[in-house]
Chains A and B, each alone.
Chain A
Amino acid sequence: MSAVQRQDERLTFTEVITLYQKRVYGYLLRFTRNSHDAQDLFQETFLRAHRAYVALPADADLRAWLMRIAVNLTKNYVRDRQRRAKVLVDEEKGHNLDGTLDLEDAGRDTESTMISRETARTLLATIETLPFHQRAALVQRQFEGLDYLTIATNLGCSQESARAHVYQALRKLRLALEHADSEAKGV
Protein backbone atom coordinates (compact mmCIF):
# COMPACT_ATOMS: atom_id res chain seq x y z
CA MET A 1 0.00 0.00 0.00
CA SER A 2 1.35 3.41 -0.90
CA ALA A 3 2.26 6.10 1.57
CA VAL A 4 -0.65 8.12 0.27
CA GLN A 5 -3.16 5.52 1.39
CA ARG A 6 -1.64 5.12 4.81
CA GLN A 7 -2.03 8.82 5.38
CA ASP A 8 -5.69 8.64 4.45
CA GLU A 9 -6.74 9.90 7.88
CA ARG A 10 -5.13 13.21 7.13
CA LEU A 11 -6.34 13.60 3.55
CA THR A 12 -9.11 16.09 3.13
CA PHE A 13 -11.61 15.36 0.42
CA THR A 14 -10.19 18.17 -1.71
CA GLU A 15 -6.82 16.45 -1.60
CA VAL A 16 -8.44 13.20 -2.64
CA ILE A 17 -9.95 14.90 -5.68
CA THR A 18 -6.64 16.46 -6.66
CA LEU A 19 -4.86 13.13 -6.41
CA TYR A 20 -7.28 11.13 -8.51
CA GLN A 21 -9.12 13.56 -10.77
CA LYS A 22 -6.96 12.81 -13.81
CA ARG A 23 -7.40 9.07 -13.43
CA VAL A 24 -11.18 9.34 -13.09
CA TYR A 25 -11.62 11.88 -15.87
CA GLY A 26 -9.41 9.84 -18.22
CA TYR A 27 -11.61 6.81 -17.82
CA LEU A 28 -14.87 8.74 -18.17
CA LEU A 29 -13.72 10.53 -21.30
CA ARG A 30 -12.51 7.32 -22.93
CA PHE A 31 -15.71 5.57 -22.06
CA THR A 32 -18.19 8.24 -23.14
CA ARG A 33 -15.99 9.66 -25.96
CA ASN A 34 -17.58 12.98 -25.29
CA SER A 35 -16.27 15.65 -22.95
CA HIS A 36 -19.68 17.00 -22.00
CA ASP A 37 -20.86 13.68 -20.60
CA ALA A 38 -17.45 12.99 -19.10
CA GLN A 39 -17.59 16.26 -17.17
CA ASP A 40 -21.08 15.50 -15.87
CA LEU A 41 -20.07 12.03 -14.73
CA PHE A 42 -16.88 13.42 -13.24
CA GLN A 43 -18.85 15.72 -10.96
CA GLU A 44 -21.32 12.99 -10.11
CA THR A 45 -18.49 10.58 -9.22
CA PHE A 46 -16.93 12.95 -6.73
CA LEU A 47 -20.23 14.17 -5.31
CA ARG A 48 -21.14 10.57 -4.54
CA ALA A 49 -17.70 9.89 -3.19
CA HIS A 50 -17.97 12.96 -1.00
CA ARG A 51 -21.15 11.68 0.61
CA ALA A 52 -19.63 8.27 1.26
CA TYR A 53 -16.13 9.38 2.24
CA VAL A 54 -16.87 9.57 5.94
CA ALA A 55 -17.98 5.94 6.07
CA LEU A 56 -14.94 4.75 4.14
CA PRO A 57 -12.55 2.59 6.18
CA ALA A 58 -9.23 4.31 6.82
CA ASP A 59 -7.24 1.60 5.04
CA ALA A 60 -9.39 1.55 1.90
CA ASP A 61 -7.75 1.74 -1.53
CA LEU A 62 -8.93 5.20 -2.58
CA ARG A 63 -8.12 4.81 -6.24
CA ALA A 64 -10.02 1.54 -6.59
CA TRP A 65 -12.92 2.93 -4.58
CA LEU A 66 -13.24 6.04 -6.75
CA MET A 67 -12.86 4.04 -9.93
CA ARG A 68 -15.63 1.71 -8.89
CA ILE A 69 -17.94 4.65 -8.37
CA ALA A 70 -16.99 5.96 -11.80
CA VAL A 71 -17.44 2.52 -13.37
CA ASN A 72 -20.87 2.16 -11.79
CA LEU A 73 -21.89 5.55 -13.11
CA THR A 74 -20.87 4.60 -16.64
CA LYS A 75 -23.00 1.51 -16.23
CA ASN A 76 -26.02 3.67 -15.44
CA TYR A 77 -25.00 5.96 -18.27
CA VAL A 78 -25.17 3.11 -20.78
CA ARG A 79 -28.54 2.04 -19.45
CA ASP A 80 -29.97 5.56 -19.63
CA ARG A 81 -28.70 6.07 -23.15
CA GLN A 82 -30.10 2.77 -24.30
CA ARG A 83 -33.45 3.68 -22.82
CA ARG A 84 -33.35 7.09 -24.43
CA ALA A 85 -32.16 5.68 -27.75
CA LYS A 86 -35.05 3.25 -27.70
CA VAL A 87 -37.53 6.06 -27.15
CA LEU A 88 -35.98 8.01 -30.01
CA VAL A 89 -36.04 5.00 -32.28
CA ASP A 90 -39.64 4.36 -31.40
CA GLU A 91 -40.63 7.95 -31.94
CA GLU A 92 -38.67 8.68 -35.04
CA LYS A 93 -38.95 5.32 -36.70
CA GLY A 94 -35.36 4.29 -36.81
CA HIS A 95 -33.69 7.64 -36.79
CA ASN A 96 -31.11 7.09 -34.10
CA LEU A 97 -29.88 10.46 -32.88
CA ASP A 98 -27.82 8.88 -30.21
CA GLY A 99 -24.77 7.80 -32.14
CA THR A 100 -24.37 10.97 -34.15
CA LEU A 101 -21.81 12.70 -32.04
CA ASP A 102 -19.53 9.70 -31.70
CA LEU A 103 -19.43 9.06 -35.41
CA GLU A 104 -18.74 12.69 -36.28
CA ASP A 105 -15.92 12.44 -33.84
CA ALA A 106 -14.54 9.31 -35.41
CA GLY A 107 -14.74 10.79 -38.86
CA ARG A 108 -12.39 13.54 -37.83
CA ASP A 109 -9.59 11.07 -37.35
CA THR A 110 -10.08 9.35 -40.65
CA GLU A 111 -7.48 10.86 -42.91
CA SER A 112 -4.63 10.90 -40.48
CA THR A 113 -4.95 7.30 -39.34
CA MET A 114 -6.00 5.46 -42.47
CA ILE A 115 -8.99 3.82 -40.85
CA SER A 116 -12.05 3.99 -43.02
CA ARG A 117 -15.06 5.83 -41.77
CA GLU A 118 -17.05 2.68 -42.30
CA THR A 119 -14.72 0.64 -40.08
CA ALA A 120 -14.80 3.29 -37.38
CA ARG A 121 -18.58 3.35 -37.53
CA THR A 122 -18.82 -0.42 -37.24
CA LEU A 123 -16.37 -0.60 -34.34
CA LEU A 124 -17.92 2.22 -32.33
CA ALA A 125 -21.44 0.93 -32.89
CA THR A 126 -20.38 -2.56 -31.83
CA ILE A 127 -18.62 -1.26 -28.72
CA GLU A 128 -21.91 0.36 -27.72
CA THR A 129 -23.70 -2.97 -27.89
CA LEU A 130 -21.15 -4.89 -25.79
CA PRO A 131 -22.20 -6.11 -22.35
CA PHE A 132 -21.11 -3.52 -19.82
CA HIS A 133 -18.14 -5.36 -18.30
CA GLN A 134 -16.69 -6.21 -21.70
CA ARG A 135 -17.04 -2.64 -22.80
CA ALA A 136 -15.54 -1.17 -19.64
CA ALA A 137 -12.64 -3.64 -19.71
CA LEU A 138 -11.99 -2.96 -23.39
CA VAL A 139 -11.98 0.80 -22.84
CA GLN A 140 -9.51 0.50 -19.99
CA ARG A 141 -7.22 -1.93 -21.81
CA GLN A 142 -7.25 -0.54 -25.34
CA PHE A 143 -7.92 3.15 -24.78
CA GLU A 144 -6.25 3.70 -21.44
CA GLY A 145 -3.57 1.01 -21.60
CA LEU A 146 -4.21 -0.19 -18.04
CA ASP A 147 -2.95 -3.57 -16.89
CA TYR A 148 -5.36 -6.38 -16.07
CA LEU A 149 -4.77 -6.19 -12.32
CA THR A 150 -5.86 -2.55 -12.25
CA ILE A 151 -8.82 -3.23 -14.52
CA ALA A 152 -9.82 -6.10 -12.24
CA THR A 153 -9.85 -3.94 -9.10
CA ASN A 154 -11.74 -1.20 -10.94
CA LEU A 155 -14.40 -3.64 -12.07
CA GLY A 156 -14.43 -5.70 -8.90
CA CYS A 157 -13.60 -8.96 -10.68
CA SER A 158 -10.62 -11.28 -10.99
CA GLN A 159 -7.68 -10.56 -13.21
CA GLU A 160 -8.58 -13.56 -15.33
CA SER A 161 -12.13 -12.29 -15.81
CA ALA A 162 -10.80 -8.86 -16.76
CA ARG A 163 -8.71 -10.45 -19.48
CA ALA A 164 -11.59 -12.67 -20.59
CA HIS A 165 -13.83 -9.60 -20.90
CA VAL A 166 -11.32 -7.84 -23.14
CA TYR A 167 -10.77 -10.91 -25.33
CA GLN A 168 -14.47 -11.55 -25.64
CA ALA A 169 -14.99 -7.94 -26.70
CA LEU A 170 -12.23 -8.22 -29.31
CA ARG A 171 -13.74 -11.41 -30.66
CA LYS A 172 -17.07 -9.66 -31.15
CA LEU A 173 -15.45 -6.65 -32.77
CA ARG A 174 -13.53 -8.87 -35.17
CA LEU A 175 -16.73 -10.71 -36.12
CA ALA A 176 -18.53 -7.43 -36.60
CA LEU A 177 -15.82 -6.22 -38.99
CA GLU A 178 -15.87 -9.51 -40.85
CA HIS A 179 -19.64 -9.28 -41.16
CA ALA A 180 -19.53 -5.67 -42.37
CA ASP A 181 -16.85 -6.62 -44.86
CA SER A 182 -18.81 -9.49 -46.37
CA GLU A 183 -21.91 -7.29 -46.59
CA ALA A 184 -19.95 -4.65 -48.44
CA LYS A 185 -18.78 -7.25 -50.92
CA GLY A 186 -22.37 -8.31 -51.38
CA VAL A 187 -21.82 -11.84 -50.15
Chain B
Amino acid sequence: MQNTRIHQLPCGFNENDLIAEALEESVSNLSQQVRAHVATCRSCAALLEQYRHLHSHLHSLSVPAGDAQELHAARRALDARLVGQTRPRLVIDVWHSPVGDIRIGKTDKGVVLVEFVKPAERDTATERWQKAFTLESGGPEVTDLIHNLEDYLSGKRRDLGWIVDDALMRSDFQREVLRATAEVPYGTVVTYQGIAAVIGQPKAVRAVAQALRYNPVPIHIPCHRVIGSDGSLTGYAGNLVEIKKQILTVEGIPVVETAKGLAIPKERMYVGWRHDRWFCRPTCSTLKDQPAGDRAFIPSRARAEEMGYQPCDECKPHVYPLA
Protein backbone atom coordinates (compact mmCIF):
# COMPACT_ATOMS: atom_id res chain seq x y z
CA MET B 1 0.00 0.00 0.00
CA GLN B 2 1.26 3.38 -0.99
CA ASN B 3 0.80 5.12 2.33
CA THR B 4 2.86 2.61 4.25
CA ARG B 5 5.73 2.45 1.80
CA ILE B 6 8.90 3.76 3.38
CA HIS B 7 11.39 5.58 1.23
CA GLN B 8 14.68 4.59 2.68
CA LEU B 9 17.79 6.39 1.55
CA PRO B 10 21.21 4.71 1.19
CA CYS B 11 22.22 6.10 4.59
CA GLY B 12 19.19 4.45 6.17
CA PHE B 13 17.26 7.67 6.69
CA ASN B 14 13.64 8.01 5.52
CA GLU B 15 13.21 10.42 2.63
CA ASN B 16 9.68 11.26 3.77
CA ASP B 17 11.09 12.73 6.98
CA LEU B 18 13.21 15.09 4.91
CA ILE B 19 10.19 16.14 2.88
CA ALA B 20 8.18 16.75 6.03
CA GLU B 21 11.00 18.90 7.37
CA ALA B 22 11.23 20.89 4.13
CA LEU B 23 7.48 21.52 4.21
CA GLU B 24 7.76 22.47 7.88
CA GLU B 25 5.16 19.96 8.86
CA SER B 26 7.18 17.54 10.99
CA VAL B 27 6.48 17.34 14.70
CA SER B 28 9.17 18.78 16.93
CA ASN B 29 11.05 15.66 18.02
CA LEU B 30 11.16 14.35 14.44
CA SER B 31 12.40 17.73 13.34
CA GLN B 32 15.23 17.47 15.86
CA GLN B 33 16.14 14.04 14.55
CA VAL B 34 16.26 15.34 10.99
CA ARG B 35 18.45 18.26 11.96
CA ALA B 36 20.83 16.03 13.88
CA HIS B 37 21.05 13.67 10.92
CA VAL B 38 21.70 16.27 8.22
CA ALA B 39 24.44 17.77 10.37
CA THR B 40 26.46 14.61 9.71
CA CYS B 41 25.03 13.23 6.44
CA ARG B 42 26.00 15.40 3.49
CA SER B 43 23.79 13.72 0.92
CA CYS B 44 20.73 14.14 3.12
CA ALA B 45 21.65 17.75 3.78
CA ALA B 46 21.76 18.32 0.03
CA LEU B 47 18.48 16.52 -0.47
CA LEU B 48 16.79 18.56 2.23
CA GLU B 49 18.09 21.69 0.57
CA GLN B 50 16.60 20.52 -2.77
CA TYR B 51 13.23 19.94 -1.16
CA ARG B 52 13.34 23.36 0.46
CA HIS B 53 14.04 24.94 -2.89
CA LEU B 54 11.30 22.94 -4.50
CA HIS B 55 8.89 24.05 -1.81
CA SER B 56 9.70 27.70 -2.38
CA HIS B 57 9.63 27.30 -6.19
CA LEU B 58 6.16 25.86 -5.91
CA HIS B 59 5.20 28.65 -3.60
CA SER B 60 6.18 31.20 -6.22
CA LEU B 61 4.26 29.26 -8.85
CA SER B 62 1.02 29.33 -6.95
CA VAL B 63 -1.71 31.40 -8.50
CA PRO B 64 -3.58 33.87 -6.31
CA ALA B 65 -7.08 32.84 -5.26
CA GLY B 66 -8.61 34.67 -8.19
CA ASP B 67 -10.09 38.11 -7.93
CA ALA B 68 -13.61 38.68 -6.77
CA GLN B 69 -14.60 39.78 -10.23
CA GLU B 70 -13.78 36.44 -11.84
CA LEU B 71 -15.80 34.61 -9.24
CA HIS B 72 -18.60 37.09 -9.67
CA ALA B 73 -18.66 36.47 -13.41
CA ALA B 74 -18.68 32.72 -12.90
CA ARG B 75 -21.53 33.03 -10.42
CA ARG B 76 -23.59 35.23 -12.75
CA ALA B 77 -23.20 32.74 -15.57
CA LEU B 78 -24.16 29.91 -13.21
CA ASP B 79 -27.26 31.72 -11.95
CA ALA B 80 -28.37 32.30 -15.52
CA ARG B 81 -28.06 28.59 -16.28
CA LEU B 82 -29.85 27.58 -13.10
CA VAL B 83 -32.82 29.81 -13.91
CA GLY B 84 -33.23 27.83 -17.11
CA GLN B 85 -33.65 24.69 -15.06
CA THR B 86 -37.23 24.69 -13.93
CA ARG B 87 -38.21 22.35 -11.18
CA PRO B 88 -39.73 19.23 -12.68
CA ARG B 89 -43.29 18.25 -11.87
CA LEU B 90 -43.74 15.52 -9.27
CA VAL B 91 -47.15 13.94 -8.95
CA ILE B 92 -47.44 12.27 -5.60
CA ASP B 93 -50.00 10.24 -3.70
CA VAL B 94 -50.27 7.93 -0.71
CA TRP B 95 -51.90 4.53 -0.96
CA HIS B 96 -53.13 2.79 2.19
CA SER B 97 -51.91 -0.63 1.16
CA PRO B 98 -52.24 -3.96 2.97
CA VAL B 99 -48.57 -3.65 4.02
CA GLY B 100 -48.94 -0.08 5.26
CA ASP B 101 -49.00 3.35 3.68
CA ILE B 102 -46.99 3.69 0.50
CA ARG B 103 -46.20 7.02 -1.12
CA ILE B 104 -45.70 6.94 -4.88
CA GLY B 105 -44.24 9.74 -6.95
CA LYS B 106 -43.97 10.17 -10.68
CA THR B 107 -42.29 12.81 -12.81
CA ASP B 108 -42.71 13.29 -16.54
CA LYS B 109 -39.79 10.92 -17.01
CA GLY B 110 -41.18 8.06 -14.94
CA VAL B 111 -41.68 6.67 -11.46
CA VAL B 112 -39.23 8.43 -9.20
CA LEU B 113 -40.11 7.26 -5.71
CA VAL B 114 -41.88 4.58 -3.74
CA GLU B 115 -41.77 5.12 0.01
CA PHE B 116 -43.09 3.18 2.95
CA VAL B 117 -44.57 5.93 5.09
CA LYS B 118 -44.72 5.79 8.84
CA PRO B 119 -48.08 7.10 10.09
CA ALA B 120 -46.41 9.96 11.98
CA GLU B 121 -44.68 11.19 8.84
CA ARG B 122 -47.65 11.04 6.56
CA ASP B 123 -48.00 14.78 6.17
CA THR B 124 -44.51 16.06 6.80
CA ALA B 125 -42.30 13.93 4.61
CA THR B 126 -43.14 15.66 1.35
CA GLU B 127 -41.30 18.82 2.41
CA ARG B 128 -37.99 17.42 1.35
CA TRP B 129 -39.20 16.95 -2.20
CA GLN B 130 -40.33 20.54 -2.50
CA LYS B 131 -36.74 21.71 -2.85
CA ALA B 132 -36.38 20.10 -6.23
CA PHE B 133 -39.85 19.47 -7.57
CA THR B 134 -43.10 21.25 -8.16
CA LEU B 135 -45.49 19.01 -6.27
CA GLU B 136 -48.91 17.96 -7.47
CA SER B 137 -51.06 15.53 -5.62
CA GLY B 138 -52.99 12.59 -6.96
CA GLY B 139 -54.37 12.25 -10.44
CA PRO B 140 -55.00 9.34 -12.79
CA GLU B 141 -51.31 8.78 -13.56
CA VAL B 142 -50.59 7.80 -9.99
CA THR B 143 -53.86 5.92 -9.64
CA ASP B 144 -52.70 3.61 -12.43
CA LEU B 145 -49.48 2.99 -10.54
CA ILE B 146 -51.43 2.18 -7.39
CA HIS B 147 -53.53 -0.35 -9.32
CA ASN B 148 -50.31 -1.95 -10.56
CA LEU B 149 -49.01 -2.24 -7.02
CA GLU B 150 -52.32 -3.61 -5.83
CA ASP B 151 -52.16 -6.35 -8.46
CA TYR B 152 -48.57 -7.09 -7.53
CA LEU B 153 -49.26 -7.39 -3.81
CA SER B 154 -52.21 -9.69 -4.46
CA GLY B 155 -50.01 -11.89 -6.64
CA LYS B 156 -51.87 -11.12 -9.89
CA ARG B 157 -48.95 -9.35 -11.44
CA ARG B 158 -45.26 -10.15 -11.34
CA ASP B 159 -43.71 -7.31 -13.22
CA LEU B 160 -44.76 -3.73 -12.64
CA GLY B 161 -43.37 -2.74 -16.03
CA TRP B 162 -42.72 0.83 -14.96
CA ILE B 163 -40.35 3.30 -16.51
CA VAL B 164 -38.16 4.77 -13.78
CA ASP B 165 -36.80 8.28 -13.38
CA ASP B 166 -33.45 7.89 -11.62
CA ALA B 167 -33.31 11.48 -10.31
CA LEU B 168 -33.28 10.38 -6.68
CA MET B 169 -30.50 7.84 -7.07
CA ARG B 170 -27.43 9.04 -5.25
CA SER B 171 -24.50 7.94 -7.36
CA ASP B 172 -23.47 5.99 -10.41
CA PHE B 173 -22.45 3.19 -8.08
CA GLN B 174 -25.97 3.05 -6.69
CA ARG B 175 -27.42 3.08 -10.20
CA GLU B 176 -25.28 0.10 -11.08
CA VAL B 177 -26.32 -1.80 -7.95
CA LEU B 178 -29.97 -1.07 -8.64
CA ARG B 179 -29.64 -2.11 -12.27
CA ALA B 180 -28.16 -5.45 -11.19
CA THR B 181 -30.92 -5.85 -8.61
CA ALA B 182 -33.63 -5.19 -11.17
CA GLU B 183 -32.41 -8.32 -13.01
CA VAL B 184 -33.16 -10.66 -10.11
CA PRO B 185 -36.18 -12.72 -11.22
CA TYR B 186 -39.51 -12.73 -9.41
CA GLY B 187 -39.82 -15.35 -6.71
CA THR B 188 -36.06 -15.88 -6.25
CA VAL B 189 -33.49 -14.34 -3.94
CA VAL B 190 -29.80 -13.54 -4.23
CA THR B 191 -27.28 -12.26 -1.68
CA TYR B 192 -25.63 -8.84 -1.28
CA GLN B 193 -22.42 -10.65 -2.06
CA GLY B 194 -23.96 -11.94 -5.28
CA ILE B 195 -24.88 -8.42 -6.41
CA ALA B 196 -21.39 -7.18 -5.52
CA ALA B 197 -19.97 -9.93 -7.76
CA VAL B 198 -22.36 -9.08 -10.62
CA ILE B 199 -21.22 -5.46 -10.70
CA GLY B 200 -17.59 -6.58 -10.66
CA GLN B 201 -16.79 -5.30 -7.16
CA PRO B 202 -16.86 -8.48 -5.07
CA LYS B 203 -15.50 -6.73 -1.99
CA ALA B 204 -18.07 -3.95 -1.94
CA VAL B 205 -20.68 -6.00 -0.07
CA ARG B 206 -21.38 -3.34 2.53
CA ALA B 207 -21.55 -0.59 -0.05
CA VAL B 208 -24.06 -2.70 -2.00
CA ALA B 209 -26.18 -3.14 1.12
CA GLN B 210 -26.03 0.60 1.72
CA ALA B 211 -27.00 1.38 -1.88
CA LEU B 212 -30.02 -0.91 -1.61
CA ARG B 213 -31.04 0.55 1.70
CA TYR B 214 -31.54 3.87 -0.07
CA ASN B 215 -33.33 2.38 -3.07
CA PRO B 216 -35.70 5.17 -4.11
CA VAL B 217 -38.08 2.80 -5.91
CA PRO B 218 -38.47 -0.31 -3.72
CA ILE B 219 -40.80 -3.09 -4.88
CA HIS B 220 -40.26 -2.08 -8.51
CA ILE B 221 -36.50 -2.45 -8.06
CA PRO B 222 -36.71 -5.61 -5.97
CA CYS B 223 -34.24 -4.93 -3.17
CA HIS B 224 -36.41 -7.29 -1.10
CA ARG B 225 -34.97 -10.11 -3.22
CA VAL B 226 -31.51 -9.41 -1.88
CA ILE B 227 -30.62 -10.93 1.49
CA GLY B 228 -27.62 -11.43 3.76
CA SER B 229 -25.23 -14.33 3.16
CA ASP B 230 -26.66 -16.04 6.25
CA GLY B 231 -30.17 -15.71 4.84
CA SER B 232 -31.18 -12.87 7.14
CA LEU B 233 -33.50 -10.11 5.99
CA THR B 234 -31.05 -7.34 6.77
CA GLY B 235 -31.13 -3.98 5.10
CA TYR B 236 -34.78 -3.16 5.59
CA ALA B 237 -34.42 -1.15 8.77
CA GLY B 238 -36.92 -1.26 11.62
CA ASN B 239 -40.51 -2.15 10.88
CA LEU B 240 -39.58 -2.44 7.21
CA VAL B 241 -38.32 -5.97 7.82
CA GLU B 242 -41.94 -6.95 8.38
CA ILE B 243 -42.85 -5.40 5.01
CA LYS B 244 -39.96 -7.20 3.32
CA LYS B 245 -41.31 -10.43 4.73
CA GLN B 246 -44.80 -9.77 3.43
CA ILE B 247 -43.54 -8.93 -0.04
CA LEU B 248 -41.38 -12.06 -0.16
CA THR B 249 -44.35 -14.12 0.98
CA VAL B 250 -46.39 -12.73 -1.91
CA GLU B 251 -43.65 -13.99 -4.23
CA GLY B 252 -43.77 -17.45 -2.66
CA ILE B 253 -40.47 -17.22 -0.81
CA PRO B 254 -40.50 -18.80 2.65
CA VAL B 255 -39.50 -16.62 5.59
CA VAL B 256 -38.81 -18.14 8.98
CA GLU B 257 -38.24 -16.77 12.46
CA THR B 258 -34.74 -17.51 13.79
CA ALA B 259 -32.86 -16.53 16.90
CA LYS B 260 -31.30 -13.68 14.90
CA GLY B 261 -34.60 -12.42 13.48
CA LEU B 262 -36.40 -13.13 10.24
CA ALA B 263 -34.48 -15.16 7.70
CA ILE B 264 -34.82 -17.13 4.51
CA PRO B 265 -34.00 -20.83 4.88
CA LYS B 266 -31.82 -20.86 1.80
CA GLU B 267 -30.19 -24.15 2.76
CA ARG B 268 -33.60 -25.67 2.06
CA MET B 269 -33.99 -24.02 -1.33
CA TYR B 270 -32.86 -24.97 -4.82
CA VAL B 271 -29.88 -23.15 -6.20
CA GLY B 272 -30.24 -21.69 -9.68
CA TRP B 273 -27.45 -20.96 -12.17
CA ARG B 274 -28.67 -17.72 -13.64
CA HIS B 275 -26.47 -17.70 -16.70
CA ASP B 276 -26.86 -21.29 -17.85
CA ARG B 277 -30.40 -21.60 -16.48
CA TRP B 278 -30.33 -24.86 -14.58
CA PHE B 279 -30.99 -25.68 -10.95
CA CYS B 280 -29.46 -27.90 -8.28
CA ARG B 281 -30.16 -29.28 -4.86
CA PRO B 282 -28.31 -27.14 -2.29
CA THR B 283 -25.88 -30.01 -1.60
CA CYS B 284 -24.88 -30.55 -5.25
CA SER B 285 -21.13 -30.99 -5.79
CA THR B 286 -21.15 -28.75 -8.87
CA LEU B 287 -21.98 -25.73 -6.71
CA LYS B 288 -18.45 -25.33 -5.44
CA ASP B 289 -17.50 -24.02 -8.90
CA GLN B 290 -20.36 -21.57 -9.11
CA PRO B 291 -19.43 -17.87 -9.22
CA ALA B 292 -21.16 -15.89 -6.46
CA GLY B 293 -22.82 -13.55 -8.94
CA ASP B 294 -24.47 -16.43 -10.79
CA ARG B 295 -26.31 -17.85 -7.79
CA ALA B 296 -30.06 -17.49 -7.18
CA PHE B 297 -32.12 -19.26 -4.54
CA ILE B 298 -35.39 -20.72 -5.76
CA PRO B 299 -38.11 -21.88 -3.35
CA SER B 300 -39.65 -24.67 -5.40
CA ARG B 301 -39.16 -26.97 -8.33
CA ALA B 302 -42.31 -25.62 -9.92
CA ARG B 303 -40.90 -22.09 -9.75
CA ALA B 304 -37.59 -23.19 -11.30
CA GLU B 305 -39.33 -24.99 -14.15
CA GLU B 306 -41.65 -22.08 -14.70
CA MET B 307 -38.58 -19.90 -15.18
CA GLY B 308 -37.35 -22.37 -17.78
CA TYR B 309 -34.47 -23.72 -15.67
CA GLN B 310 -33.34 -27.30 -16.38
CA PRO B 311 -32.65 -29.79 -13.56
CA CYS B 312 -28.97 -30.55 -12.93
CA ASP B 313 -27.72 -33.94 -14.25
CA GLU B 314 -25.50 -34.38 -11.26
CA CYS B 315 -27.88 -33.99 -8.29
CA LYS B 316 -31.11 -34.64 -10.24
CA PRO B 317 -33.48 -32.35 -8.34
CA HIS B 318 -36.37 -33.63 -10.50
CA VAL B 319 -35.79 -37.16 -9.25
CA TYR B 320 -34.89 -36.28 -5.67
CA PRO B 321 -36.88 -33.14 -4.88
CA LEU B 322 -36.34 -31.28 -1.64
CA ALA B 323 -38.76 -32.08 1.15
B60 engages A174 (CB within 8 Å): no
Given A142-B59, A164-B2; 16 other pairs, CB 8 A cutoff: A17-B75, A17-B78, A21-B74, A39-B77, A43-B74, A43-B77, A50-B85, A51-B167, A55-B167, A142-B55, A163-B3, A167-B7, A168-B2, A170-B23, A170-B54, A171-B19
**Stretch of A77-85, A86-94, A113-121 that contacts chain B:** A113-121
Show 28 residue pairs from A and B whose CB-CB distance is below 8 angstroms, ordered by the A residue: A14-B82, A22-B65, A22-B71, A25-B74, A26-B66, A29-B70, A38-B70, A39-B70, A43-B77, A47-B82, A54-B167, A55-B170, A105-B63, A123-B57, A124-B61, A143-B58, A160-B4, A164-B5, A165-B2, A167-B7, A167-B20, A168-B2, A170-B54, A173-B58, A174-B50, A174-B54, A177-B54, A177-B57
Count A-B contacts at CB 8 Å: 125
Knowing A50-B85, A164-B5, A167-B19, say if A106 contacts B167 (CB, 8 Å).
no
Q: Does A158 sit within 8 A of B, measured CB to CB?
A: yes
Q: Does B133 sit within 8 A of A, measured CB to CB?
A: yes
Q: With the chains together, A153 CA to B82 CA distance in Å? A: 27
Q: Does B30 sit within 8 A of A, measured CB to CB?
A: no
Q: Does B95 sit within 8 A of A, measured CB to CB?
A: no
A38 engages B57 (CB within 8 Å): no
Within 8 A of B (CB), among A15-60: 17, 21-22, 25-26, 29-30, 33, 35, 38-39, 42-43, 46-47, 50-56, 58
Q: Does B160 sit within 8 A of A, measured CB to CB?
A: no
Q: With the chains together, A164 CA to B73 CA distance in Å? A: 36
Contacts of A55 in B (CB 8 A): 167-170, 216
**Stretch of B124-132, B144-152, B255-263 that contacts chain A:** B124-132
Q: Does B249 sit within 8 A of A, measured CB to CB?
A: no
Contacts of A183 in B (CB 8 A): none
Bitwise, B265-281 to A at CB < 8 A (1) or not (0) is 00000000000000000
Q: Does B33 sit within 8 A of A, measured CB to CB?
A: no
A177 engages B62 (CB within 8 Å): no
Q: Does A161 sit within 8 A of B, measured CB to CB?
A: yes
Knowing A143-B63, A161-B3, A171-B7, say if A119 contacts B57 (CB, 8 Å).
yes
Q: Does A178 sit within 8 A of B, measured CB to CB?
A: yes
Q: Does B13 sit within 8 A of A, measured CB to CB?
A: no
B216 CB, nearest partner CB in chain A, Å = 7
Q: Does B96 sit within 8 A of A, measured CB to CB?
A: no
Q: With the chains together, A109 CA to B62 CA distance in Å? A: 10
Contacts of B60 in A (CB 8 A): 109, 113-115
9 residue pairs, one from A and one from B, having the closest CB atoms = A54-B132, A113-B60, A160-B3, A39-B74, A164-B3, A143-B62, A42-B74, A29-B66, A142-B58
